[in-house]
Amino acid sequence: MPESIYRHIADLLDAGRRCALVTIIQTIGSVPRQPGAKMLVTDEGEVLGTVGGGCVEADLFALAQEALARREILTKTVDLSVKSQDEIDMFCGGKVTAVIEPLEGTPRLVIFGGGHISQALHRICAPLGFHVTVTDDRPRFANEERFPGAETLAMPFERQVEELNLTPATFVVIVTRGHEADEVVLQQVLGKPLRYLGLIGSRSKWKRIRGNLARMGHTEEQLDRVVCPIGLNIHAETPEEIAVAVAAQLIAVKNHDSPKARRHRARSGAAEVSGD
């Protein structure tokens, strides 16, 4: 079973999914499973393996969901001696200690637009552990020479999203050379369950584009996910400063992504400029 769990973990991470691995590390007294027993809980609530069934498994399943939400490793003890017989449905009275590890793959950053801000953002984010992909509709702006080590894609923006494997773990930053291309990209990515979706520009620009997209049928929920202006509010002006502000915001999302933090980020955007 551990081997199949590890294969399943690899498949999930390759697909941009997240999961939590529950491993029993210590037991005291009469318990259903011994140290080393494992259970995998996915970001969609699927379960593979078992750590004993009954209330033990229910408690550890809830803790796995908590670990996924907090993105933190948890170590918890379930005391079966305080459970009623109806709860445990077995003759156990010991304690089970487990470690719960949230797992996710290398974060992927897709930058639409190959201008100066994109170059600066790539230089910052690649050493931070992001797998960077840069796109543009002009081959001279999306190539290995301009973006060493990054994946690049040069084709019309209207066709790009179908060539990209955008997953719930993908960070998307839209910094094309103009409002029209920004809107074309947004039309394609709004329906994707992305980890982060940021658009460079002013509040007035976003108000205008948001109105256009709403008239096309995009929902308020989809539109509310867009962070615009993009970046932390550090009064950034140059491409390099803007890239620092955006990279800091991406790190904040990667490391802590509570609803409260998302609302705060949406209010504190800074980069109210064009993308190229």
Assigned fold of 108-271: Rossmann fold (3.40.50)
Residue 71: the pLDDT is: 85
**What are the tokens at 257?**
């992504």
- Is pLDDT of 84 > 70? no
> Tokens 């960077």 — which residue?
132
Range with lowest mean pLDDT among 25-29, 145-149, 252-256: 252-256
Using alpha carbons only, give the angle 207, 213, 215 rounded to the nearest 5 degrees: 105
pLDDT at 54: 79
Q: Using 50, 70 and 90 to split pLDDT, how confident is the model at 243?
A: very high
Percent of the chain with pLDDT over 90: 70
Whole-structure pTM over 0.85, yes or no? Answer: no
Per-residue pLDDT of 171-222, as tens digits, reads 999 999 998 999 999 999 999 989 999 999 999 999 999 999 999 999 999 9
Helix H or strand E encompassing 154: strand 151-154
Mean pLDDT of the chain: 88
First to last CA, the chain: 52
pLDDT of residue 52: 82
pLDDT given for residue 260 in this prediction:
41
Q: String of b and e for 40-54 (b: at least 16 CB within 10 Å)?
A: bbbbeeeebbebbee
What is the per-residue burial (b if ≥16 Cβ within 10 Å, else e) of 76-92?
A: bebebeebeeeebebeb
Asked if residue 122 has pLDDT above 90, the reply is: yes
Question: What are the structural domain ranges in the chain?
Answer: 2-104, 108-271
